Homo-oligomer: A and B are copies of this chain.
Amino acid sequence: MPETCPHNSAISCGNCRLGSICLPLALETDDVVKLDEIVQRGRPLQKNEHLYREGDHFTSVYAVRSGAIKAYRLTGDGQEQVTGFYFPGEIIGMDGISKDQYACSAKALETSAVCEIPFNRLEELSTQVPSMQRHFFQLMSQEITSDQQLITLLSKNSAEERIASLLISISARNARRKLSRTHFRLPMSRTDIGNFLGLTVETVSRVISRFNKQGLIAVENKEVTLLDLEGLKAVANVASDS
């Protein structure tokens, strides 16, 4: 068996715990080595540091290794629309491909580490390794469907349903990483939550307080415990398995 990472003995896609939910998902061992050769791992981002900004020349997509990143765009009148929160194992930056410049800004919500994947290298690799191409098509398609879920949420659901859905989504993404499904720290501010869900800070705060009083969750600042996951799912109006 070959050395899993030829240029960095500490970290590699081959030994990354996130591999199962990140890029290498569908790859053969030697293809993972090829991926490893193009992935660049820089210094960590400090809280509030930008990974890239709206309008920057598009060069790379990024896999989040640790921490949390928010993607947002500014509206004409300077308001912030958060388009997504990205947790370890998730890929950010695919919106930049179409115009060769990023359509969103990406900012660290806490100290975070990312793996940079230069897109032209990824394109090359994709022509050589069909399963790589397939996997990347799937990742982009996944981004489309998750955006469409958010569209539905914004279009049809009440403030309570939106916030319950967000909590459930974070819980599910935690579970994928083998972390607690019921207890976690929200890396984003209430304002960010509002800007994501199309609500004001006040409404976010009120709904969270209400969930707390109702015994659905226990909140202390950013620490959240989901006390009644089934109850929350009922509030969110989602089928029990999602």
Are A156 and B123 in contact, CB atoms less than 8 angstroms apart? no
Distance of A79 from chain B, by nearest CB (Å): 6
A79 contacts which chain B residues (CB < 8 A)? Answer: 156
From A3-11, A42-50, A136-144, A183-191, the one touching the partner chain is: A136-144
- When C-beta atoms are compared, the residue in chain B nearest to A79 turns out to be B156
Copies of this chain per assembly: 2
Closest to A154 in B: B154
A147 contact set on B, CB distance < 8 A: 144, 147-148, 151
How many chain A residues have a CB neighbour from B under 8 Å? 46
Q: Which residue on chain B has the smallest CB distance to residue A196?
A: B155
Prevailing SS type, chain A contact patch = helix
Q: What is the interface of chain A, defined by CB distance below 8 A to chain B?
A: 73, 75-77, 79, 81, 83, 94-99, 103-104, 123, 126-128, 130, 133-134, 136-145, 147-148, 150-152, 154-156, 195, 197-198, 237-239
Name the B residues within 8 Å of A143 (CB-CB): 144
CB nearest neighbor in B for A143: B144
* Pair A148/B95 contact, Cβ less than 8 Å: yes
Contact between A81 and B151, CB atoms less than 8 A apart? yes
Report if A144-B77 is in contact (Cβ < 8 Å); known contacts: A151-B151, A198-B155.
Answer: no
| B94:A141 contact, CB within 8 angstroms | yes
Can you name 10 extra interface pairs (CB under 8 A) apart from A81-B152, A81-B155, A151-B154?
A83-B148, A96-B141, A97-B140, A98-B144, A103-B148, A136-B137, A140-B140, A140-B144, A154-B154, A154-B155
Residues from chain B with a CB closer than 8 A to the CB of A76 are 237-239
Given A140-B137, A151-B81, A156-B81: A145 and B198 interface contact (C-beta under 8 Å) = no
The residue in chain B whose Cβ has the minimal distance to the Cβ of A77 is B237
Complex alpha-carbon distance, A73 and B237, angstroms: 15
Q: In whole angstroms, what is the CA distance A197 to B141 when docked?
A: 22
